Amino acid sequence: MAKKSAPSVKQLQKDARSYIWQPFTQMQEWEQHPPLIISRGKGTVLYDVEGNAYLDGTSSIWVNLHGHRHPTIDQAIRHQLTQIAHSTLLGISHPLAIQLAKALVGITPKGLEKVFFSDNGSTAVEIALKMAIQYWQQCPVPEPRKTQFIHLGLAYHGDTVGSMSLSGIELFQKPFSSLLFPGRHQIEAPYCYRCPLNLQFPQCQMACLDPLESLLQAKHVEIAGVVVEPMVQGVAGLIPSPPGYLQRIHELCRQYQVLFIADEVATGFGRTGRMFACDHEAVTPDIMALAKGMTGGYLPLAATLTTHEIYSAFLGQPQEGRTFFHGHSYTGNPLGCAAALANLSVFKTERTLVKVQRRIPRLTTFLETLAQDPWVGDIRQCGYMVGIELVKNQSNKEPFPMIDRIGHRVTVAARTLGLLIRPIGNIMILMPPLSATLQELKQMVDILKVAISIVRASKSAEKIS
Ligand SMILES: *Cc1c(COP(=O)(O)O)cnc(C)c1O
């Protein structure tokens, strides 16, 4: 058979618009422009089908850690292909899932001892919620009334119905309000940059957590768990929590006998400068969800970890119905596990965390050069997670009207300069791979600076004309 020649760029662009419905994308707008089609990557750089290079400023949407085409991870996947691509975890096992589970228990906060695999972050959270609910029905002193959850304002935990129910972003939930599960309680996000209570940390003594305490006091008999993104709320627009915040929530959970569920899907695997965000405050959650960086950004794999105590509540004779009836076709996929194990080995051989910790203050210094820009409001950083807020008026941080689509326009300008970045509203989210060099980090910030000034110039030209 003759080898089919690759489709032309024009054909790909046409077919992309004909056949794909893109995630989180207004397709009417998307269809109006030739789509960017990435075909290759190496390290921090992505290449489109025409050969143009772009710095990967989003880590390919928060997943890549050690760069693209990392030889160790590439090799691990290739090797696993010589063994088997997929075999199930339903009732049987495979070596890499076993090795990976052991490795994860070794590096996650002490006390997390059992690993339940799945394949994406939303699902890892969904599993955490189901585990919590069933646990309270089956624990030694059952508390079947504990069926409700508390989450933070502006939280994001995924797009499946359960994880979406505990999100605090109205725009994503609105069409599905009929599906959101009952018994959800929201407490204000720890938004110190613009404290809703108008207080200053640390004099405030974290008064924003008083409502959580009152809620737990009044309702703890009905509350199964508190779900948080530890240290920083990502999709909220990068909202870091103040020091001690996580510990305080953890304490309150202990005091009122509710489970503490940490969604480390975005923060896990070094993104905040520690292996896990919970490590910053030495907190062990009852349940922890992991995904995004788990395979170094290579393959879809996720895990929900929990304690021996929670695991034991599910033990019994098969006919007792205490089994956790949950699982997916590709749960713990061997290729994904191979990538995940290689990812962890790269952390060791390249001393990734040591390097990242050294580079974080340098990144902060680069970011400070943005502060003078008249359009830059807050610059929020937690390790390699950065949110740069664009505002109309720097002195009072007056936001741009959404209709101006400033974040989107800066993204488009940055792309022409060789940086891929994706905004959340008017907040530019910069999330470089952990392997990005100082030079690449500086380049990302510099391009962003120029992109902002290009959009500002075009905006003032619009006003004049
Ligand atoms: C991305 C994300 C999720 C969802 O993960 P998916 O793999 O996209 O389903 C859940 N929680 C947080 C904190 C995330 O950032």
In a domain, 4, yes or no: no
How many Å lie between the centroid of ligand 1 and the Cα of residue 209? 24
- Ligand 1 pocket: which residues have CB below 6 Å? 120-122, 125, 156-158, 229, 234-235, 263, 265-266, 291-292
Same domain, 344 and 357: no
Q: How confident is the model at residue 196 (pLDDT cuts 50, 70, 90)?
A: confident
How many Å lie between the centroid of ligand 1 and the Cα of residue 157? 6
The gap between the terminal CA atoms of the chain, to the nearest Å, is 59
- Using the structure block, give the residue that is written with the tokens 């809703």: 196
Same domain, 41 and 175: no
Assess whether pLDDT exceeds 90 at residue 123.
yes
How many Å lie between the centroid of ligand 1 and the Cα of residue 289? 9
Same domain, 95 and 143: yes
Same domain, 385 and 400: yes
pLDDT in the model for residue 2: 56
Nearest-atom number in ligand 1 for the CA of 266 is 15
- Using the structure block, give the residue that is written with the tokens 């910790």: 357
Query: What confidence tens digit (pLDDT) does each residue in 127-137 have?
Result: 999 999 999 99
In a domain, 1, yes or no: no
How many Å lie between the centroid of ligand 1 and the Cα of residue 123? 9
Q: How many domains does the structure of the chain reveal?
A: 2
Nearest-atom number in ligand 1 for the CA of 120 is 7
Query: What confidence tens digit (pLDDT) does each residue in 322-366 have?
Result: 999 999 999 999 999 999 999 999 999 999 999 999 999 999 999
pLDDT in the model for residue 345: 98
Last residue of a domain, one of 349, 379, 409: 349
Which of 54, 130, 158, 67 has the alpha carbon at shortest distance from 323?
Answer: 130
Same domain, 118 and 41: no
In a domain, 210, yes or no: yes
In a domain, 433, yes or no: yes
Which of 419, 390, 386, 388 has the alpha carbon at shortest distance from 404?
Answer: 390
User: What secondary structure letter does DSSP report for 82?
Assistant: T
Query: What confidence tens digit (pLDDT) does each residue in 25-58 have?
Result: 999 999 999 999 999 999 999 999 999 999 999 9
Residue with CA closest to ligand 1 atom 8: 121
Residue with CA closest to ligand 1 atom 5: 121
Q: How confident is the model at residue 105 (pLDDT cuts 50, 70, 90)?
A: very high
The four Cα atoms 259, 229, 184, 168 give a dihedral, to 10 degrees, of: 180
Same domain, 259 and 112: yes
How many Å lie between the centroid of ligand 1 and the Cα of residue 290? 9
Same domain, 271 and 308: yes
Last residue of a domain, one of 330, 349, 368: 349
Same domain, 341 and 255: yes
CATH code assigned at 234: 3.40.640.10
Assess whether pLDDT exceeds 60 at residue 77.
yes
Which residues are CB-neighbours of 71 under 8 A, at least 6 positions away? none
Nearest-atom number in ligand 1 for the CA of 233 is 13
How many Å lie between the centroid of ligand 1 and the Cα of residue 131? 18
Enter the tokens of residue 34: 């030739």
Q: How confident is the model at residue 465 (pLDDT cuts 50, 70, 90)?
A: low
Query: What confidence tens digit (pLDDT) does each residue in 406-419 have?
Result: 999 999 999 999 99
In a domain, 3, yes or no: no
Nearest-atom number in ligand 1 for the CA of 163 is 10
Last residue of a domain, one of 349, 384, 414: 349
Determine the average pLDDT of the residues in 15-20. 96
Nearest-atom number in ligand 1 for the CA of 234 is 15
Same domain, 228 and 152: yes
User: What secondary structure letter does DSSP report for 272?
Assistant: T
How many Å lie between the centroid of ligand 1 and the Cα of residue 177? 20
Same domain, 150 and 224: yes
Same domain, 383 and 345: no
Assess whether pLDDT exceeds 90 at residue 194.
no
How many Å lie between the centroid of ligand 1 and the Cα of residue 293? 11
In a domain, 324, yes or no: yes
What is the extent of the structural domain holding 232?
74-349
Residue with CA closest to ligand 1 atom 6: 121
For residue 440, the SS3 value is helix
pLDDT in the model for residue 404: 92
CATH code assigned at 442: 3.90.1150.10
Tell which one of 64, 126, 157 to mutate to probe ligand 1, the residue whose CB is within 8 A of the most ligand atoms: 157
Nearest-atom number in ligand 1 for the CA of 302 is 7
Determine the average pLDDT of the residues in 253-265. 98
Report the distance separating Cα 159 and Cα 300, nearest Å. 15
Same domain, 97 and 218: yes
In a domain, 215, yes or no: yes
For 134, half-sphere exposure in the C-beta direction (CA atoms, 13 angstrom radius) is 18
